[in-house]
Amino acid sequence: MPHPRPLATTLLAQAPTGPDGLTATVPRQLVHRASVAETLLIGGSRTAGDRFTILAQWPRAHQLHVSPDRSAYEPLLVAETVRQAGALLAHTAYDVPLGHQFVLRELRLTTRPERLAVGLAPAEPVLHVTVRDLDLRGGRPAGFSYDADIRLDGESVATAHISATWTSAAVYRRLRGGRTADTVSALPVPPGLAPAEVDRALPPDVVLAPTDHPDRWQLRVDTAHAVFFDHPLDHVPGMLLLEAVRQAVRARTSDDGRVPVSFYGAFHQYAELDRPTWIEAFDKQGEHGTDVQVLGQQGDSTVFECAVGIARR
């Protein structure tokens, strides 16, 4: 594996700090966000070879990623932070051009919810990231996997593993056969579950619609949602699929106080905006010690599958 090039100045290792020690976020384009408010990373540096330290900040309140009572950070906030770290490193340490399309292949996340309490100031997690399995095609990186240990005040609060690939805009256009955010429209959004059933405060944040089966739902794809669709997309984003997993588990466990704490997801193909996506959940004690299996299907194809570990709150 070749050495990564020196980190670009956009990683803000030398960024000036204010009187309270605060720094600006990294440029939003480097984490594939349009909104600065949804940009969670504030800096980082290479520590050795393919090892990096990434700095982040978590808000005390968030539409999705903080519990409705604002007492705890949600596991998917950790997932989004780790996702952003991978995009940042790809662009700044491995010379992946801006404009390349990223594809999430696998995500494993284990959190320690007792250590994810919201404090009196925004949390500032530190991610210790190790890049592995760099995929070279024609001498250029085309994908990688990486591990992350997420720490708050020196204590590990979560661990994660992500595998992702990327491709140029031109190749992506050919792969998508002309499907773009301008040419593909999402299906009408069906009425959702009651927010309390999925531990959400607001109806627009509910991503599941009921069906005639208690453990099967239709995915609600609202392209006007400011977090899931921070910018126009031609497919359903991975973070929306993970939120569907979270809500499916909450819908099944809301009566017994159990909550999802770990996710092991594999993403097999794009979830198309103009086709219904069906979410199914069932009990399954698997090799990863998980308690619920969630599948996402379009037609006869499984778009993604995710094993979820649950624990009592």
Tens digit of pLDDT for each residue in 179-231?
Answer: 999 999 999 999 999 999 999 999 999 999 999 999 999 999 999 999 999 99
- What's residue 4's pLDDT? 47
For the chain, percent of residues with pLDDT exceeding 90: 81
Mean pLDDT of 168-185: 92
Query: For residue 18, is pLDDT > 50?
Result: no
Token duo for residue 231? 């910018």
Domain check: are 135 and 207 in the same one?
Answer: no
pLDDT at 1: 42
- Tell whether 170 and 186 lie within a shared domain: no
Give me the CATH number covering residue 89. 3.10.129.10
Residues 162 and 224 in one domain: no
Q: Does the pLDDT at position 109 exceed 90?
A: yes
Judged against a pLDDT cut of 80, whether residue 285 lies above it is answered with no
> What are the distances in angstroms from CA 53 to CA 37, 130, 144?
22, 9, 17
- Per-residue pLDDT tens digits for 21-44: 556 899 999 999 999 999 999 999
286 or 100, which is more confident: 100
The token pair at 47 is 């520590």
pLDDT (0 to 100) of residue 97: 94
Domain end: 154, 174, 194, which one? 174
Q: Are residues 169 and 271 in the same domain?
A: no
pLDDT tens for 223-269 read 999 999 999 999 999 999 999 999 999 998 876 777 899 999 999 99
Q: Is 240 helix (H, G, I), strand (E, B) or coil?
A: helix
Asked if the structure places residue 4 within a domain, the reply is no
- Do the beta carbons of residue 152 and residue 123 sit within 8 Å? yes
Domain presence at residue 134: yes
- Say which DSSP state 173 is in: H
For residue 10, pLDDT over 90 is answered with no
Question: Average model confidence (pLDDT) for the chain?
Answer: 90
Tell me, what DSSP letter sits at residue 261? E
**What's the pLDDT score for residue 288?**
58
The set of residues, in sequence order, having a beta carbon less than 8 Å from that of 230 and lying 6+ positions away, is: 33, 34, 35, 38
pLDDT at 232: 94
Q: Which is nearest to 280 in space by CA: 215, 220, 209?
A: 215
Task: Pick the last residue of a domain from 153, 174, 195.
Answer: 174
Per-residue pLDDT, 17: 42
